[in-house]
Each structure stands twice: as C-alpha cells, then as structure tokens.
C-alpha cells in the first residue's frame, strides 16, 4: 500500500501565470521532449490529472465545489485574499466538506505586515537570511543555486498536510494550514546560528 493511497488533492498551485498564454512552465526549456513539451513542467507535475476551470465564472466554481465535496486536500499558492475573491474561502470549502484540509502557501503568510507582498525565491532567500551565509567570507550575499526557499515552502507545507491528515483520522475534522517559504527559515538556521554564536562567522 502506498503511503497516501486514496487521498485526493486538488492542486491550484501555479508559477508565472500568464493570462494570455496559460502557464509558461509548459513551454519552459530546454530540455524539450520530442513532442515539444517541457521536461521541467512534466517533472514537477508527474502523475497529476489536469483540468482547466475558469474560477471567475459561476460554472467553473460549481465544478470546483463538486470536486471539493470528494477531495481530502486543497493546495493553493495564490496571494492572500485571492481565494476569498474567487469564492473559495476556507469557510465556503468547509461548508461543502467538513473533512477538507486547505493548505495555503504564500510568500509571507496569510497574516502580518508583509502578507500582501509578492515574492519569488530570490527575495525569500534574502528575507529568510539564507543569502547571508553563502558566498565568499566578508563578501556580498549570494543566492543559492537551487530555489531552496520555494522547495522548503512546498516541503513544510507537505509535512503540515500529512500531520493534518493524521489528526483528521483521530478527530474526523479537516483544517486550514497557513505555510510558506519563510516558515522554514528557523529550521534552516539550525546549524548556522550555533556556529555564529561561537565563532561570530
């Protein structure tokens, strides 16, 4: 048996959304496969089923509501407030399915002074402090080669969803998760902070 066998996730996450041409990840490359599709897009969307819905229209929302009634998790990374404007607030989704778990991934969280700031990995690495411990000694901060803030946001969100599913088995209740790339910053500092406190380097 697979670890999450039978769990249905409605994934609303997106990157570089372009209203004129859809998601440019579909054409990002190289490498491209023989049929012209982006290997990158396929790699990060493997094993998913795709469905195009216009959530600004009532018909699109009704289809999504029906999917929510059958789902376990809704995963989204819109800016804070977008889900509410689309008619997809947690309270609405909960009214359709009290066992639903909604994980919202945003740059700086759903609350707080930076909630409306958009950001990509570079800004998040800087704000989270990761760039201050990369590069040459006494040099300028350097971005990590991997999109570590983006990857960490997804990883910590997935951990939280797994925990929420476990809790649901005990309580029968779903829940709402507020996570993001900066949420894991203290964890990533676990080695750097003690070293700095001893060596000031």
Q: List the catalytic residues.
A: 150
Beta pairing, strands 9-11 & 175-179: unpaired
Alpha-carbon distance values, 82 to 76, 86, 90, 163 (Å):
10, 6, 12, 25
As given in the structure block, the two tokens for residue 39 are 């290997």
Q: Of 43, 68, 64, which Cα lies nearest the Cα of 52?
A: 64
Six token digits for residue 109: 């969280």
């Amino acid at each position: 048996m697979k670890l999450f066998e039978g769990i249905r996730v409605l994934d609303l996450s997106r990157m570089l959304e372009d209203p004129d041409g859809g998601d440019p990840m579909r054409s990002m490359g190289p490498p491209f496969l023989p049929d012209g599709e982006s290997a990158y897009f396929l790699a990060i969307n493997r094993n998913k089923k795709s469905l195009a819905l216009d959530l600004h229209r009532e018909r699109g929302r009704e289809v999504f509501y029906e999917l929510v009634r059958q789902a376990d998790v809704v995963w989204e990374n819109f800016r804070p407030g977008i889900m509410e404007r689309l008619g997809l607030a947690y309270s609405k989704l909960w009214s359709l399915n009290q066992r639903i778990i909604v994980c919202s991934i945003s740059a700086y969280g759903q609350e707080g002074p930076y909630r409306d700031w958009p950001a990509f990995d570079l800004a998040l690495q800087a704000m989270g402090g990761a760039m201050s411990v990369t590069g040459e000694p006494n040099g300028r901060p350097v971005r990590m080669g991997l999109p570590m803030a983006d990857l960490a946001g997804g990883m910590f969100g997935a951990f939280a969803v797994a925990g929420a599913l476990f809790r649901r088995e005990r309580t029968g209740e779903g829940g709402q998760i507020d996570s993001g790339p900066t949420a894991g910053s203290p964890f990533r500092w676990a080695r750097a902070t003690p070293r700095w406190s001893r060596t000031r380097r």
